[in-house]
Amino acid sequence: MTASLEAAAAALRRSRATTILTGAGVSAASGIPTFRGEDGLWRKVRAETLATPEAFENDPKLVWEWYDWRRGMIRDAAPNPAHHVLARWTRDHGATLITQNVDGLHERAGAKDLIRLHGSIWHVRCWRRCAAGADDWVNDTVPLETLPPRCPHCGAMVRPGVVWFGEPLDAAILDRAMTAASSCDLFLTVGTSAVVYPAAGLIPHAKRAGATVIEINPDATGASSTADITLRMKADEALEAIDRSLVNR
Ligand code: NAD
């Protein structure tokens, strides 16, 4: 075990309240592309330009074709060891898990009380916000029967139940995340480029409140200078190694 892995495992053993923030990198080992990685393109279009309200207004069918493709890929994927280790930490060690991911893989691994900052790719709601369709509901049909899918209440289009770039987060969910960041003694940031706000702001928020910060990411990010311990590793490999050392202590 490297010195950094030892230090991370020791910090986890000492911790009385651990909060973990995850991003797309956690699902990379399940075969789900990140947005900023080499495979973050679909039909040569950058993912960030599709995940906006403006893109949906301009071409809802194109945006739904992209979501339909991602939903198919995610349905065929399985949680990887990173999801399983983190889910176990939420169940057995009371860790609080916050994710920017919309793929549902933390949930499928059995994570407890997950704080989902950016919604779910399996949720939809009425684009026109009709009275009956304004709240999210589950639609896990793959592939979707019509693109764009229609609201069963008013016949308008439905939109994915995710937070797009430029949209505000649900205030109550953000509040839960901020509290989890400011009340922990150990904060792990795993597989996120730390450029999407307000999620990325949770890292300095935890640090200012006195937490030790560990970053797990093969690449340096905007959060690296805030981290006390950096593990330049893939999420599944790092988390499995730390978990083994906790179990074998
Ligand atoms: P991002 O695409 O901006 O960054 C991904 C990060 O993961 C990068 O820093 C990269 O170095 C790192 N990474 C790549 N492979 C890794 C691995 N095996 N282990 C650990 N880290 C690895 O993703 P983000 O920071 O989560 O922000 C993008 C936004 O896109 C989020 O809001 C999220 O909702 C959304 N998104 C979600 C999914 C998903 O649900 N699976 C996928 C793509 C994007």
CATH of 1-32+79-118+169-249, one of 3.30.565.10, 3.40.50.720, 3.40.50.2300, 3.40.50.1220: 3.40.50.1220
> What pLDDT score was predicted for residue 116?
98
118 belongs to the catalytic site: yes
> Ligand 1, closest atom to CA 165?
32
The model carries a pTM of: 0.97
Tens of pLDDT, residue by residue over 68-110, are 999 999 999 999 999 999 999 999 999 999 999 999 999 999 9
> What pLDDT score was predicted for residue 42?
86
Residue with the nearest Cα to atom 4 of ligand 1? 193
Pocket of ligand 1, beta carbon within 6 A: 23-25, 27-29, 32, 34-37, 100-103, 118, 191-193, 196, 217-219, 221, 234-235
> What pLDDT score was predicted for residue 247?
80
Ligand 1 pocket check: which of 21, 35, 41 to mutate, most ligand atoms within 8 Å of Cβ?
A: 35
Please tell me the distance between residue 12's alpha carbon and the centre of ligand 1 in angstroms. 23
Quote the CA–CA distance of 169 and 166 in Å, as a whole number: 10
Q: Which one of the listed residues 84, 106, 118, 123 is annotated catalytic?
A: 118
Tens of pLDDT, residue by residue over 115-143, are 999 999 999 999 999 999 999 999 999 99
Domain locations in the chain?
1-32+79-118+169-249, 33-76+121-162
Residue with the nearest Cα to atom 22 of ligand 1? 25
Tens of pLDDT, residue by residue over 196-227, are 999 999 999 999 999 999 999 999 999 999 99
> Ligand 1, closest atom to CA 32?
41
CATH of 33-76+121-162, one of 3.30.1600.10, 2.40.50.180, 3.90.226.10, 3.30.1540.20: 3.30.1600.10
Tens of pLDDT, residue by residue over 150-181, are 999 999 999 999 999 999 999 999 999 999 99
> What pLDDT score was predicted for residue 243?
97
> What pLDDT score was predicted for residue 249?
61
